[in-house]
Amino acid sequence: MKQSARRPVPAGLSLERGRLRSSETPTSNGEARRPSSASEPSERRPGSSKRQRRDGGRSAEGAKAAALTPEGYEKARRLLMRRDPILAAAIARIGPCGMADRQRKDHLSALIGAIVSQQLSTKAAATIFGRLVALFPDGHILDAAAIAGQSDAALRAVGLSGQKVGYLRDLSARIADGRLQLDELDALPDEDVIERLTAVKGFGRWTAEMFLMFRLHRPDVLPAGDLGIVNAIQRLYRLRKRPDAKRILRIGEAWRPYRSVASWYLWQSLKLEVSSLR
């Protein structure tokens, strides 16, 4: 009898499977079940920074990673295709990485944009952000004092909720009194950037990770709690159940030091799936 061809397995997934006996309990039908002590990551929990450092959240043992250049994105794409044959098939269909295309003018506008876009569609967020910047000279938010100078009524009038106005107030107050220094973020390690940003009201770990990836162009960020990443890995790697954060981090070992780029391709793979159904 002919044996069916086996699908190639990337190094990270192979490593993850090899640890099954010690880290997961098999059910009666052979499906891996995570231990009862495992939990999904929340936006912020006491001690989560230590866990993330131990599980690979900080690249190069805590050192600040250099921002990716256009040449760096291409190098990352080639490395990922060599390392992971499953992801390579998706990368070949998607083409060059487009992470650098999503960019704000500066750190402040990027953080304000993150607040505005929470729980909104891309189109709605862009509309409200456009109305917000129109309140300022030349359509540019110069500094935190400019935000502080706007009344709550003016901010609410552009479409911001009262809660988001509160988030903007906290952000501008922290910048004004020096608790958050935007100029120092470029030189800080990933985990320290996350720590600074999650101290601001309305900013969870996911928002800070998006800032690292799309504003600071940090190469090795893997947002293991992102629903899109979870769904993409489950579908692309044909897993029987949704992977938890620990499993995602193990699979992602094969993508170091370019887990940010791998994450972008995972998100794009979901779009490929939708377009193939049309």
Let me know whether 157 and 250 are in one domain: no
Stretch (H or E) spanning 176: helix 162-176
Query: Considering 214, 241, 268, which residue would you say is the last residue of a domain?
Result: 214
pLDDT at position 105 over 80: no
Let me know whether 222 and 210 are in one domain: no
Sign of CA dihedral 113, 117, 122, 126: negative
Residue 6 in domain: no
Residue 49 in domain: no
Matching residue, tokens 């893997």: 222
Query: Considering 162, 188, 214, which residue would you say is the last residue of a domain?
Result: 214
Residue 127: which domain range?
107-214
Q: At what angle do helices 227-236 and 85-94 cross, to 10 degrees?
A: 110
* 127 Ramachandran zone, left/alpha/beta (phi>0; psi -120 to 50): alpha
Taking the C-alpha atoms of residue 140 and residue 147, their distance in angstroms, rounded to an integer, is 11
Residue 40 in domain: no
Let me know whether 112 and 208 are in one domain: yes
Residue, of 273 and 212, whose pLDDT is higher: 212
- Structural domains of the chain, count: 2
Matching residue, tokens 């499993």: 247
pLDDT at position 248 over 80: yes
Let me know whether 87 and 128 are in one domain: no
Let me know whether 73 and 144 are in one domain: no
What mean pLDDT is predicted for residues 133-139?
93
Active-site residues: which are they?
A: 226
pLDDT at position 43 over 90: no
Residue 177 in domain: yes
- For the segment 17-30, what is each residue's pLDDT rounded down to a tens digit? 443 333 333 333 33
Domain of 198, CATH number, reads 1.10.340.30
- Residue 181 confidence (pLDDT): 97
Is the pTM higher than 0.85? The answer reads no
Residue 222 in domain: yes
Contact 191, 50 (CB under 8 A): no
Residue, of 189 and 4, whose pLDDT is higher: 189
pLDDT at position 146 over 50: yes
- For the segment 210-245, what is each residue's pLDDT rounded down to a tens digit? 999 999 999 999 999 999 999 999 999 999 999 999
Let me know whether 111 and 199 are in one domain: yes
Let me know whether 200 and 140 are in one domain: yes
Let me know whether 253 and 198 are in one domain: no
Query: Considering 192, 214, 236, which residue would you say is the last residue of a domain?
Result: 214
pLDDT range class, residue 41, cuts 50, 70, 90: very low
Tokens standing for residue 26: 């098999």
Let me know whether 73 and 204 are in one domain: no
Let me know whether 126 and 262 are in one domain: no
Residue-level length of the chain: 278
pLDDT range class, residue 4, cuts 50, 70, 90: very low
Let me know whether 196 and 232 are in one domain: no
Distances (CA, A) of 70 to 77, 101, 118, 250: 11, 11, 28, 27
